[in-house]
Structure 1
Amino acid sequence: MILNGNERGNAKELARHLLNMRDNDHVELHDLRGFVSDDLHGALLEAEAISMGTRCVNHLFSLSLNPPEYADVPDETFEKAIESIEAGLGLQGQPRAIVFHEKAGRRHAHAVWSRIDSEDMKAINISFYKRRLTGISKQLFLENGWPLPEGLQDFRKRDPLKFSLHEWQQAKRTGLDAKETKALLRECWNASDTRQSFEVALREKGFWLAQGDKRSYVAIDWRGEVYSLSRAAGVKKNELTARLGDMRELLSVEETKAYIGGQLTPKIKEWAQEAETRAKQLRLSITFQCEQAVQRQRGERDALRKKQEERWKIEEKARASRTPRGIRGLWGWITGKNRKIREINEAEIRQAKARDQIEKHVLIRQQIAERRRLQRTADRVRKHLQHTLYGLAADMALAIMMGRVPEAAQRKQENGKRQKDRRRSRDQGPDFEQNK
């Protein structure tokens, strides 16, 4: 499992994130330990209240556990991993919450501990926790028989295209993939050896070179989105300066945006808007299918939960009726019959819990398999959209340089309009009024 942990505060915000149903298909509060409250918001606020008796600001330790995409991981494996992490970080016995998330056919877990030792009213010091988590992560991959990722084999082979929260939010705005955008900018950097050749490579992909607001080199697309070249290309500022020269010779971000905006004629804007609208409609179609499947799956899980609760009540009533009361109960206590009945009831409770857990896991596995099949279709649509939008960016750069829509793109647009008109006329049928 890939483990990502950090010390943090702001319990309210963390609880909101962990229970976020908008960005996750399914959210399940799996376990609460060591809290008076029985809900996550109350539990984390309880931990925050206790921390106010100390000087600790980051009173929580938050951890995400991400198994490989292909792995079918039961709850017991997650629990065992969390126990191992807890021991490795010195958090045994601390108040803890476990939450499961499912999204796009993948299931992962979040664990949150309070760092405050309530007896000594001191925060537990977790030194070098990133190094410790890396070691535990390797151990979990080996124990479960999963191939070890290159980044864990050698830290120098870690994914250079990992993106930040800002880049992820930017990708959501533009509809582009953050990793693919970084790969595109890195490709331009690797294919050039001077500022002139780099600018040409950028322009061919739909980007402009500019001087950033924080004394850095940036790339700007036709929408005005700004991309850090240092992060994208994976090079330091000194390397950028050596190849690109004096930054002051470049236009600023605002000047570059103004230049791009000034070159966008109404015809170019209309063409770009139509291309983005078509892409958005295709994206909404597959998103709607995914959302419909998720809503149905949530209903199936609620139905199973209610069925198990009703069955549990009936079984509890039956178990309670076995224990004699009054004089018979006293005699059963003396003879030891009550103890045997209690042992039978406890064995049945364990079997019933195991049965309910198996039923839940079977349903989860079926739903994850269905969601993965749907996600493969969504991924194919996404790749097609990415190809379309990156092609649009290159065409927009060419259009801005030419001052008009390129002929090939214009023909494509006109062909699209003719096809739309033909479909409309076919759907409407013949005009009988004109045929009279």
Structure 2
Amino acid sequence: MILKGSQRGGAVNLADHLTNTRENDHVDVADLRGVAASDLHGALQEIDATSKGTKATQPFFSVSINPPEGARLTLEDFKEAARAIEEKFGLTDQPRAIVTHEKNARLHAHVVWSRIDTENMKAIELSFSKLRLREVSRDLFLQHDFEMPEGLRDREKAKPDNFSPQIWQQAKRIGEDPRDLKRIVSDAFKDADGAKAFQAQLEGHAMQLARGDRRGFVVVHHTGEALPINRYLDMKQKDIRAKLGDPAHQITVDQARSLLNSRMTAQAEKQLDDGKRRQDADQGKLKDQVLQMRGEHRALREALKTAQEARTASEALERANRLRKGLGGLWQRLTGEHGRIAKQNADEAEQATQRDAGEREAMRHGQLDERALLQTSITAMKEKHLRETNQQRAVLGHWLSMDKDTQREAIKTHVDQIETEKRGWRELRDERAKQGKDRGRTP
């Protein structure tokens, strides 16, 4: 299982994030330990309150546990994984919460521990957390006999595709997959020997190299969005400048947008708009199916919960009635029957708990299988849309590249602007130097 962890604060924000039912099909606060509260918000606020007696600003250690696609784990499996993590980090018996999420037919869990050692009133140190989580992850893959990812076997082969929320939101706005954009920008940069060759590669994808506001490079998408090139290349701007030169020699973002807009034909815009409408219609149909299935599955789970609670109450009453009161109860104690019945009741209660958990797991896994069938259609649709987007981008890039005169005109205007600015600075420098000499000759 892939494990990702971080230390963090913000009890309310963390609880809001973990109980978000808009982005997830199902959310279940599956286990709370070491807290008096019976809900996640109360539990995390309780831990946060405890941390006020220390200097800790990040009292939580949050870890996501992600099984491979198609794996069907139980709550007990996640608890075992949590125990392996806390043994590695010295968090055994620390207050803890486990929350399970189901999204896109995949089940994963989030575990949040308190870092606060209440006996010594200080935060538990969690050094080398990535390395230690990596070791636990390997053990879990072997334990469950899952196929281990290549990047987990060899760190050099790990794929750094962890985009920030800002990058994901930007890509969503322009109807792109950030992984696809990263592939395009990375391939173009790798094959280029300078800014001119890099721009030629980008042009084929209807993109334009430009300089950003902070003396760095950006790539302007044909929609006008400025993509932070360093985020897609996983490189620092100084290393990018070593290959592409001074960003000042490139046109500005506004000039790049104007250039792309001026070269967009009505036919190109119509094709893009028509493609976007078709894709939105496809997505709308499947989204409606997802929402309908989500509602039906939630209703079934609520009905099961209600039925189990009623059965639990009935069985508890039946077990309680076995223990008599008054003289009958005294006789049971004298004959030892009371102890036998108490043990029988405890055993039956434990069996009932396991039975109910099994029913919930069976329903969950059945619904995940049903949701997986729908997800297959969604994945196929996304792959189809990606092919269409790549094709549209390539055609648009071809049309834009045919208008070389417009590009040369824009670059010439930009070069002239730079030369004008340089002349202005030289004249200002010479004027200030002359004024300084004049003041030096004044008696």
TM-score, L = length of structure 1: 0.88
Amino acid corresponding to residue 38 of structure 1 in structure 2: S
Larger mean Cα displacement after TM superposition, 263-272 or 346-355: 263-272
Structure 1: which 5+ runs fail to align?
A: 404-436
**2:106 matched to 1:87?**
no
2: CA distance between counterparts of 1:194 and 1:346? 75
Aligned to 1:414: none
1: CA distance between counterparts of 2:70 and 2:86? 26
2: CA distance between counterparts of 1:45 and 1:226? 40
Q: Contact (CA 8 Å) 2:203, 2:400: kept in 1 or not?
A: no
Amino acid corresponding to residue 167 of structure 2 in structure 1: E
Q: Contact (CA 8 Å) 1:203, 1:394: kept in 2 or not?
A: no
Q: CA deviation at 1:394?
A: 3.3
Q: CA deviation at 1:141?
A: 0.9
Aligned to 1:224: 224
Structure 2 counterparts to residues 105-124 of structure 1, below 5 A: 105-124=105-124
Amino acid corresponding to residue 362 of structure 2 in structure 1: V
1: CA distance between counterparts of 2:12 and 2:391? 43
Larger mean Cα displacement after TM superposition, 62-71 or 268-277: 268-277
SS of match in other structure, 1:317: helix
Aligned to 1:417: none
Aligned to 2:254: 254
2: CA distance between counterparts of 1:192 and 1:182? 15
Aligned to 2:380: 380
SS of match in other structure, 2:204: helix
**2:301 matched to 1:301?**
yes
Q: Deviations over 1:46-89 (max 9, x none)?
A: 11122122211111111100111132211111101101111111
**2:282 matched to 1:282?**
yes
2: CA distance between counterparts of 1:45 and 1:167? 31
Q: Contact (CA 8 Å) 1:188, 1:201: kept in 2 or not?
A: yes
Count of matched residue pairs = 403
Amino acid corresponding to residue 372 of structure 1 in structure 2: A
Q: Contact (CA 8 Å) 2:189, 2:198: kept in 1 or not?
A: yes
Q: Contact (CA 8 Å) 2:27, 2:99: kept in 1 or not?
A: yes
Q: CA deviation at 1:238?
A: 4.8
2: CA distance between counterparts of 1:29 and 1:396? 49
Amino acid corresponding to residue 39 of structure 2 in structure 1: D
Q: Contact (CA 8 Å) 1:3, 1:137: kept in 2 or not?
A: yes
SS of match in other structure, 2:348: helix
Q: Deviations over 1:339-366 (max 9, x none)?
A: 1111111111111111111111111111
Q: CA deviation at 1:191?
A: 3.2
Q: Contact (CA 8 Å) 2:20, 2:27: kept in 1 or not?
A: yes
2: CA distance between counterparts of 1:163 and 1:390? 21
Structure 2 counterparts to residues 246-395 of structure 1, below 5 A: 246-264=246-264, 268-395=268-395
Q: CA deviation at 1:169?
A: 1.6
Aligned to 2:210: 210
Aligned to 2:24: 24
Q: CA deviation at 1:162?
A: 3.6
Q: CA deviation at 1:271?
A: 4.1
Aligned to 2:418: none
Q: CA deviation at 1:402?
A: 5.6
2: CA distance between counterparts of 1:35 and 1:269? 58
Q: Deviations over 1:178-215 (max 9, x none)?
A: 11221122222233333222212111112111112233
**2:176 matched to 1:176?**
yes
2: CA distance between counterparts of 1:64 and 1:151? 18
2: CA distance between counterparts of 1:233 and 1:130? 22
Q: CA deviation at 1:112?
A: 0.5
SS of match in other structure, 1:224: coil
2: CA distance between counterparts of 1:253 and 1:11? 40
Larger mean Cα displacement after TM superposition, 295-304 or 163-172: 163-172
**2:40 matched to 1:37?**
no
Aligned to 2:132: 132
Amino acid corresponding to residue 300 of structure 1 in structure 2: L
Aligned to 1:166: 166
Q: Deviations over 1:370-422 (max 9, x none)?
A: 1111111100001111222233333344445567xxxxxxxxxxxxxxxxxxx
Q: CA deviation at 1:41?
A: 0.8
SS of match in other structure, 1:91: coil
2: CA distance between counterparts of 1:175 and 1:262? 22
Of all paired residues, the percent bearing the same amino acid is 38
1: CA distance between counterparts of 2:190 and 2:60? 42
SS of match in other structure, 1:205: coil
Aligned to 1:49: 49
Structure 2: which 5+ runs fail to align?
A: 404-443
2: CA distance between counterparts of 1:254 and 1:45? 47
SS of match in other structure, 1:93: coil
Amino acid corresponding to residue 290 of structure 1 in structure 2: V
2: CA distance between counterparts of 1:348 and 1:329? 20
Larger mean Cα displacement after TM superposition, 195-204 or 361-370: 195-204
1: CA distance between counterparts of 2:271 and 2:265? 10
Q: Contact (CA 8 Å) 1:8, 1:59: kept in 2 or not?
A: yes
1: CA distance between counterparts of 2:331 and 2:397? 92
Aligned to 2:427: none
Amino acid corresponding to residue 136 of structure 2 in structure 1: I
2: CA distance between counterparts of 1:235 and 1:40? 39
Aligned to 2:144: 144
Q: Contact (CA 8 Å) 2:31, 2:99: kept in 1 or not?
A: yes
2: CA distance between counterparts of 1:10 and 1:255? 42
Q: Contact (CA 8 Å) 1:100, 1:108: kept in 2 or not?
A: yes
Q: CA deviation at 1:266?
A: 5.7
Q: Give the number of the structure whose alpha-carbon radius of gyration is greater.
A: 2
TM-score, L = length of structure 2: 0.86
Q: Contact (CA 8 Å) 1:276, 1:389: kept in 2 or not?
A: no
SS of match in other structure, 1:257: helix
2: CA distance between counterparts of 1:53 and 1:258? 57
Amino acid corresponding to residue 199 of structure 1 in structure 2: Q
2: CA distance between counterparts of 1:4 and 1:161? 13
Q: Contact (CA 8 Å) 1:162, 1:179: kept in 2 or not?
A: no
Q: Contact (CA 8 Å) 2:204, 2:401: kept in 1 or not?
A: no
SS of match in other structure, 1:38: coil
